[in-house]
Amino acid sequence: MGGAFAGEVKSIAILTPEEGTDYGWNQQGIDAAKAAGKAAGVEVVVAQGLGYGDVRPTLRELAADGASLLIAHASGYNTSRPRSPRKPRFPLRSSTRRTVWRKASSPTTR
């Protein structure tokens, strides 16, 4: 998958299945994306309450609107991402508890 250098990222988007006011995983992801965007000086677009259905149309729309980095913040989105093109024109990060744990605990994880 192609990547983007930090200097090329102008806008990031986070997609969550539930609203960002759930005092849980969705809210943590949205709050973290907003904090990262503020620290990096980039726009943050929040797409929340999407459920676990097919989010590919939303991914395409956000990418077309200029999001340089898309964060699919649910393990359920792992079913939509693999069906997307093999080499998307935009970076996509699917965040799950397991992925976050591995990155935090293993310095050798890619």
Q: What is this structure's pTM?
A: 0.67
What are the distances in angstroms from CA 57 to CA 23, 37, 103? 27, 23, 29
**Does some domain include residue 100?**
yes
**60 located within any domain:** yes
What pLDDT was estimated at residue 76? Answer: 80
Q: What is the total count of domains within the chain?
A: 1
Within a domain: residue 109? Answer: yes
Q: What is the pLDDT of residue 54?
A: 87
Whole-number percent of the chain with pLDDT over 70:
65
Binned at pLDDT 50, 70 and 90, residue 9 comes out as confident
- Domain hosting 97: range is 25-44+53-110
Q: What is the mean pLDDT of residues 5-29?
A: 89
Residue 91 lies in a domain: yes
Q: How does residue 6 score in pLDDT terms, banded at 50, 70 and 90?
A: low
Residue 17 lies in a domain: no
The bridge status of strand 43-47 relative to strand 11-15 is parallel
In a domain, residue 62? The reply is yes
